[in-house]
Amino acid sequence: MDASRWRVALVGVAVSGLVLAACGASATINQAISSIGASPYLQVHLSATFTGAATASDQQVLNELSFDIIESSTSGQSLTSSASNVSAEVDVNVGSQSLASVRDVANNLYVELNAQALSSLPGVNLSQQEIASLELVFANRWFEIPESLLRTYEATKSPTEAQKAKEQAIAQQIVKNVTAVIEKTKYTTLPNGGYSETGTLKSIVNAVLPTIVKLEGHAIPTGKVAGTYKIAVTMSGSTATGASIAITAPNGTSGNATVALNATITHNTQSVVAPTDATVITPALIAQLEGQVSSA
Q: What is the 3-state secondary structure (H, E, C) of 80-91?
A: CCCCCCEEEEEE
Q: What is the 3-state secondary structure (H, E, C) of 242-291?
A: EEEEEEEEECCCCCEEEEEEEEEEECCCCCCCCCCCCEECCHHHHHHHHH
Q: Taking residues 241-266, what's their average pLDDT?
A: 90
Domain range enclosing 37: 3-295
Q: Which residues are within 8 A (CB) of 107 and not within 5 positions of it... i.e. 6 or more apart?
A: 147, 150
pLDDT in tens, 264-281: 999 999 999 999 999 898
pLDDT in tens, 120-170: 887 777 778 888 888 877 877 899 999 888 877 665 556 777 877 777 788
pLDDT in tens, 184-226: 888 888 888 888 889 999 998 888 888 878 776 767 666 778 8
Q: Percent of the chain having pLDDT more than 70?
A: 83
How many distinct structural domains can be found in the chain? 1
